[in-house]
Amino acid sequence: MSDLDLAVELLRATPTHENRTDGQLRAWAEIALAYGDELATGTDSDDVQVVEREGGVSDGELLLAEYQRGMVVVYTEALQRVEELARARGWPVTREALRRAAVAHELAHHRLDVRELNRRLGHTAFRLGPLRLRGHVAGAEEISAHRFAHLRSGLAVSPLLITTALTGGK
């Protein structure tokens, strides 16, 4: 399954998109992936501190990393869970590569310009005559951040595939 297919599935599983057409979801997924590609080609000007802390696993939730005031926190228990999942699936990924991808994913969220992504997605939430209110496409930022993380980390498996597996998918 391609990243585009996985991104479409991620959008389809996101509340508010249940009734969108396959064509609409595919178009949004393509735009979000392309935005992630573009972000990944940019230069790094941020000096971000990375720290590890225990935790990241709670009832039904897994938090691998988060961005906090100029610092990325990577949660070691969540990282171990993802590493175990990868090993069980036979994916050739290392803990360090997963960690790099988690950090890159958080940096992508920090760098991502949501207004620009929304402009590119072109979703209209409301229209009244000539007036148009641009909408937000839930899940598009995650797709862009996953793509950025994949390109920047060199992870052997797509973060979109890992996310799908973590949610019980393929």
- Of the candidates 91, 52, 57, 54, the residue with the CA atom closest to the CA atom of residue 72: 52
Whole-number pLDDT of residue 135: 86
Mean pLDDT of the region 41-61: 87
Instruction: Give the model confidence (pLDDT) of 155-164 as tens digits.
Output: 999 999 999 9
Residue 169 has pLDDT above 70, yes or no: no
Whether pLDDT at 26 is above 90? yes
6-15, 28-37, 98-107, 126-135: least confidently modelled range:
126-135
User: How much is the pLDDT for 167?
Assistant: 83
Residue 48 CB partners (closer than 8 Å, separation 6+): 70, 71, 72, 103, 107, 110
